[in-house]
Structure 1
Amino acid sequence: MLRRSLGQVSHGTGTTPASVTSLLQGLEARGFITRTSSPHDSRVKVVRVTPEGEQIIAGFDEAMRAAFEAFYAPLSEAEQDQLLALLERLVENVEVPSRPGGPPGDPRRRPL
């Protein structure tokens, strides 16, 4: 089972712990996850995916594949390959700008 702390999730996504908490609250309100207190540490919440959440996850890959196919349909296979190669070149040269107010410890965070 994959385990991540709220801080690890927020750092990995470049968001704040408050944003992650808000997202989890929304998922819980929709019935996709449950959050319970850890039996070992009451400060820690254990997040579990519900059967409804599992259904969403199961359909996600297929939905994304269909969306990508529809998006790229106007391009030939050769044009798709060319586009991908050009985008990869651009990404190789991108520098992530510093963000003021990012999560503490985030290397992109600029001093105020």
Structure 2
Amino acid sequence: MILYGIPTCDTCKKAMKALKDAGHDPQFRDVRAQPLSEAEISAIVQEFGDRAINKTSPTYRSFNAFLKESDPEVQIAEQPTVMKRPVIEHEGRWTIAWDEAAQSVWLG
């Protein structure tokens, strides 16, 4: 199980704690310190499309017009923290955010 996020994200911290408490052993992937590969970005965007981008984030709002109109792959490659967090992947199953839907997948 891999949790993609940044260490300062409160939602990522809550998700990590809940996953560990539920008996999972998630690996944390800091997308800022260890940038995502082209293949990883492609997999995330293929799974979530535009939802992979947090359009309410300060990072997204700071983008110039060209970058805002670019594909999600370009946006994440340029600034990984624009990705909605956390993204969790385990054995081909993906979730994004830490809402009720994601929690029901990973916590039962």
Please report the TM-score for the alignment, with normalisation by the length of structure 2: 0.32
Please report the TM-score for the alignment, with normalisation by the length of structure 1: 0.31
Which protein, 1 or 2, shows the higher relative CO under an 8 Å CA cutoff with sep ≥ 6?
A: 2
The structure having more radius of gyration, on CA atoms, is 1
